[in-house]
Amino acid sequence: MSLQETYTSLGLSDFEYDRILELLGRAPNHLELSLFSVMWSEHCGYKNSRPLLKRFPNSGARVVQGPGENAGVVEVGEGWALAFKVESHNHPSAVEPYEGAATGVGGIVRDILAMGARPVALLDSLRFGPLGEEKNAYLFREVVRGIGGYGNAVGVPTVGGEVEFAPAYSSNPLVNAMCVGLIRTDDLVRSRATGVGNLVVLLGSKTGRDGIHGATFASDELTDESESKRSNVQVGDPFAEKMLIECCLRLHEEDLLVSLQDLGAAGITSSASEMAAKGGVGIEIDAQKVPLRESGLEPYEVVISESQERMLAVVEPDQAERVLKLAERYGLVGAVIGQVTDHGELRVKDGGEIVGSVPVEHLADAPICDREVLRPSYLDAVQRLDLAEIPRPDDYNEVLLEILSHPNLCSRRSIFEQYDHEVGADTVVAPGADAAVMRIKSTNLGFAVTTDGRGRHCYLDPRGGGGATVAEAYRNLSCVGAEPVAITNCLNFGSPEKPEGYYQLSECIEGMAAACEALGTPVVSGNVSLYNETESGAVYPTPVVGMVGVLKDVGHYATPAYKREGDMVVVIGSGSRASLAGSDYLEVVHGRVAGRPPTPDLAAEKKVADLVREVIRSGLVDTAHDVSSGGVAVALAEMALTGGIGFEYSETELEMIGAEHALQTLFGERGASFLVAVPQERWDDLQNALSNVPYDEVGRTGGDRFRIGSLVGVSLQDLREAYERDLFGLPGGAEVTH
């Protein structure tokens, strides 16, 4: 193999190889080239996205730790803080879905653990191709199994998430995992290596060949050859992870750690070099001292292996024996594999021989790629939509049942029942609501968390869709009464080397950043997953937002379920007309992804959501749901089904709508809209509270039927049979034309 073939096979460009020569002043050996390969991959180095990420706001009143550490941290109150982050495991899940999803969960848990926090909640955000295709159904089934198999065993509840299906995700699933951890504000651990002469200790499982060059693999497009890269996918052991969690928290409790870092992408290489770069020091690693699962590993394989359930700690020499004894007590492997130095390099030894040495500042500073931006030509075609040409349905009952039974809108019960969401006994609002709610023991405090993504919207309007993604998360937290405080995000996009793809990334970030600023939800952590493409094309641009909110009194929350018969149901924030452009109705009923969805009105989003939150906190409202996918009709049906109580739409409201606007009012989509329910005796109180926002009384709860005048009249049983579908046995997904 020629020199060029060698470095290009490792994912390095000609420019990058020349840059390495310039930085080192010499040719790198194979080990050093491997170090650069993994650290300068997009997965580790963010070389395509770093300039764009600067657009995000990062500071806020509750922010304790922003980007730059293993996870972001926000203050909750009474000395408590939350550490949280979301990351992708898309490429591994495409070729080995069970292990890819499982190790995605394991990796995000260790990111939280590295901050010194106890992981207390997991969520996910998933995308697959239509379930009617056998491979997509297989990927979906195995990914969900992997998430449940790892999360349930590791003892962290999976409390929420979302999933959607579209042809754009065929053979390239998106598997994003989020974790939230709880910690005392004063007890945070950072990953900065300090103290020349301090020891580097590897804790957890033994090291094998699994995951070698996984970071490079995750920074390339998926092709028919990707199946041959199964060895790039790590293998997880959740029981070892559980022991690792308890061991690291015990080490932290006994104040035995100088710093701590998880071993994820690029293994020892990324952890050691990042710790050293942050501390302005060097680190030496002896490959012979790393406990191995199998014999015959070369030093370069040892330091870039992505074997799971491992953490890297820096400890003072006189504490090393205690650290190793605790590791043994928890059934883990512990070994001193190196030390902190003052030479500023990541130096790899094989016994006493130095086999590679690179300045950590070079490894941690991947060269920025200057990419061309070009508005995709497809936007002109897909945004053209004459709404007047959309025919009114002959049978609204049939339309409602068809939409409710679609894989994108039907019940997720068949998924979340595979996850343990009650372990730890702190789950207040379980999966199935707008957001999960968790209590903080021995306090009145709680927190809420949600994940949201709007890939179709971002495909049709990247900037508007980016803003709408943040706004939807803000609404979902407000629906349960939580004050949204910060977000983490995972940016799932196609190749940045294609100008049209880079346009989507840039515009979505711009829309998200504007929404974060308007709503006061800074970005404190995140992940970028690019090159989500197959030979058939790129996935929808799919930024996923994980948002965290705070409840000062966890006893005051709302859920979507109708609680009582005779309640008044009100839509709040109905000032803007709903639109069928880019709607689920248009896709499900007419098989079209087209139009330009309404641009989010961020000022209205904040005003209305803040008001809804206040009426929940005051105890006036205990039933709330946002109007989103499927429009008002679907949201009302979901509330009826969740509560097991029927609903009748107001005849007066129907007359005001008029027959010509009924379709878009019922099934059109818009932002800044909520549905709430209150008892008749509290109606005056609610009207007084809503005096500064538009609202309409849309109906009353009661009975066992769901009625919208003469348009819809179905029993709750019929609704339930449509909605409660087993996604694992469904041939589904509309044939969509682009």
- Beta bridge partner(s), residue 449: 436, 548
Pair 484, 547: CB distance under 8 Å? yes
Same domain, 388 and 330: no
Same domain, 191 and 231: yes
Q: How far apart, in whole angstroms, are the C-alpha atoms of residue 719 and residue 644? A: 11
Instruction: Of 453, 291, 402, give the one whose Cα is nearest residue 633.
Output: 402
pLDDT confidence tier of residue 652, bands split at 50, 70 and 90: confident
Same domain, 265 and 316: yes
Instruction: Of 177, 164, 216, 138, give the one whose Cα is nearest residue 540.
Output: 164
Mapped onto helix, strand or coil, the DSSP state of residue 309 is coil
CA angle (641, 556, 72) in 5-degree steps: 95
Q: What are the residues whose beta carbons fall under 8 Å from the beta carbon of 370, sequence distance 6 or more?
A: none
Domain boundary among 329, 363, 397: 363
76 is a domain residue:
yes
Q: How far apart, in whole angstroms, are the C-alpha atoms of residue 113 and residue 107? A: 10
Domain range spanning residue 257? 49-363
CA angle (419, 425, 430) in 5-degree steps: 50
Q: What are the residues whose beta carbons fall under 8 Å from the beta carbon of 389, sequence distance 6 or more?
A: none
CATH number at residue 87: 3.90.650.10
Calculate the CA dihedral of residues 385, 391, 393, 394 and round it to 10 degrees. -170
475 is a domain residue:
no
pLDDT confidence tier of residue 230, bands split at 50, 70 and 90: very low
Same domain, 394 and 270: no
Same domain, 341 and 207: yes
What mean pLDDT is predicted for residues 212-231? 52
153 is a domain residue:
yes
- Beta bridge partner(s), residue 179: 85, 122
- Residue range 378-394, pLDDT digits in tens: 999 999 999 888 999 99
Looking at residue 222, what is its pLDDT? 58
Kindly provide the residue ranges of all beta strands, DSSP E only, lying in 455-567, ordered along the sequence.
Answer: 483-492, 523-529, 533-534, 537-538, 542-551
Q: How far apart, in whole angstroms, are the C-alpha atoms of residue 289 and residue 299? A: 11
- Residue range 113-126, pLDDT digits in tens: 999 999 999 999 99
Pair 140, 105: CB distance under 8 Å? no
Pair 82, 488: CB distance under 8 Å? no
Q: With a cut of 80, say whether residue 203 has pLDDT above it.
A: yes
Phi, psi dihedrals of residue 249, rounded to the nearest 5°: -65, -35
Looking at residue 737, what is its pLDDT? 34
Pair 493, 538: CB distance under 8 Å? yes
From residue 450, give the alpha-carbon distance in Å to each of 307, 321, 338, 473.
30, 42, 40, 6
Q: With a cut of 80, say whether residue 7 has pLDDT above it.
A: yes
Q: What are the residues whose beta carbons fall under 8 Å from the beta carbon of 25, sequence distance 6 or more?
A: none
User: Which range scores top for mean pLDDT: 219-233, 375-389, 496-510?
Assistant: 496-510
- Residue range 317-334, pLDDT digits in tens: 999 999 999 999 999 999
347 is a domain residue:
yes
Domain boundary among 330, 363, 396: 363
Instruction: Of 226, 249, 206, 229, give the one whose Cα is nearest residue 110.
Output: 249
508 is a domain residue:
no
Crossing angle (nearest 10°) for helices 14-24 and 30-39: 120
CA-CA-CA-CA torsion sign (213, 83, 488, 149): positive
Same domain, 298 and 377: no
Same domain, 311 and 403: no
Q: With a cut of 70, say whether residue 296 has pLDDT above it.
A: yes
For residue 293, count other CB atoms closer than 10 A to its CB.
15
Looking at residue 735, what is its pLDDT? 37
Kindly provide the residue ranges of all beta strands, DSSP E only, lying in 457-540, ordered along the sequence.
Answer: 483-492, 523-529, 533-534, 537-538
Percent of the chain with pLDDT over 90: 87
- Residue range 522-576, pLDDT digits in tens: 999 999 999 999 999 999 999 999 999 999 999 999 999 999 999 999 999 965 6
Same domain, 74 and 164: yes
For residue 353, count other CB atoms closer than 10 A to its CB.
10
Query: Which residues are designated catalytic?
Result: 43, 89
Phi, psi dihedrals of residue 334, rounded to the nearest 5°: -130, 135
- Residue range 408-423, pLDDT digits in tens: 999 999 999 999 999 9
What mean pLDDT is predicted for residues 652-677? 89
Looking at residue 431, what is its pLDDT? 95
Looking at residue 730, what is its pLDDT? 58
> Per the structure block, which two tokens stand in for 569?
């149901």
pLDDT confidence tier of residue 734, bands split at 50, 70 and 90: very low
Between these two residues, 67 and 389, which has the higher pLDDT value? 67
631 is a domain residue:
yes
Looking at residue 358, what is its pLDDT? 97
- Residue range 123-142, pLDDT digits in tens: 999 999 999 999 999 999 99
Helix (H) or strand (E) holding 121: strand 118-128
What mean pLDDT is predicted for residues 626-653? 95
> Given the structure tokens 């992408």, which residue do they identify?
265
Residue type, 240: A
Same domain, 249 and 388: no
> Per the structure block, which two tokens stand in for 73?
């941290």
Looking at residue 733, what is its pLDDT? 39
Q: How far apart, in whole angstroms, are the C-alpha atoms of residue 139 and residue 287? A: 36
Percent of the chain with pLDDT over 70: 95
Q: How far apart, in whole angstroms, are the C-alpha atoms of residue 403 and residue 590? A: 11
- By DSSP bridging, strand 542-551 and strand 647-649 are unpaired
Q: How far apart, in whole angstroms, are the C-alpha atoms of residue 63 and residue 74? A: 5
Same domain, 392 and 243: no
Q: How far apart, in whole angstroms, are the C-alpha atoms of residue 679 and residue 700? A: 10
Q: With a cut of 60, say whether residue 169 has pLDDT above it.
A: yes
* Helical segments of 72-178, H only: 90-95, 97-113, 134-154
Which three-class secondary structure string do you get for 573-584? CCCCCCECCCCH
23 is a domain residue:
no
Q: How far apart, in whole angstroms, are the C-alpha atoms of residue 626 and residue 673? A: 6
pLDDT confidence tier of residue 654, bands split at 50, 70 and 90: confident
274 is a domain residue:
yes
Looking at residue 576, what is its pLDDT? 62
| Per-position DSSP letters for 684-703, written without gaps between them | HHHHHHTTTS-EEEEEEE-S
Which three-class secondary structure string do you get for 17-70? HHHHHHHHCCCCCHHHHHHHHHHCCHHHHCCCCHHHHCCCCCCCCCEEECECEC
Q: How far apart, in whole angstroms, are the C-alpha atoms of residue 131 and residue 678? A: 39
Pair 195, 340: CB distance under 8 Å? yes
Same domain, 354 and 379: no
Domain boundary among 305, 335, 363: 363
Phi, psi dihedrals of residue 6, rounded to the nearest 5°: -65, -50
Q: What does DSSP assign to residue 366? A: P
Same domain, 281 and 382: no
Q: How far apart, in whole angstroms, are the C-alpha atoms of residue 212 and residue 412? A: 35
pLDDT confidence tier of residue 43, bands split at 50, 70 and 90: confident
Q: How far apart, in whole angstroms, are the C-alpha atoms of residue 247 and residue 127? A: 34
Q: Mean pLDDT, the chain, as a whole number?
A: 93
For residue 658, count other CB atoms closer than 10 A to its CB.
9
Our count of domains for the chain comes to 2
Looking at residue 307, what is its pLDDT? 92
CA angle (699, 700, 701) in 5-degree steps: 135
Q: How far apart, in whole angstroms, are the C-alpha atoms of residue 215 and residue 264? A: 9
Interior/surface letters 168-196, b for 16+ CB within 10 angstroms, e for the rest: bbbbbbbbbbbbbbbbeeeebbbbbbbbe
What mean pLDDT is predicted for residues 656-683? 92
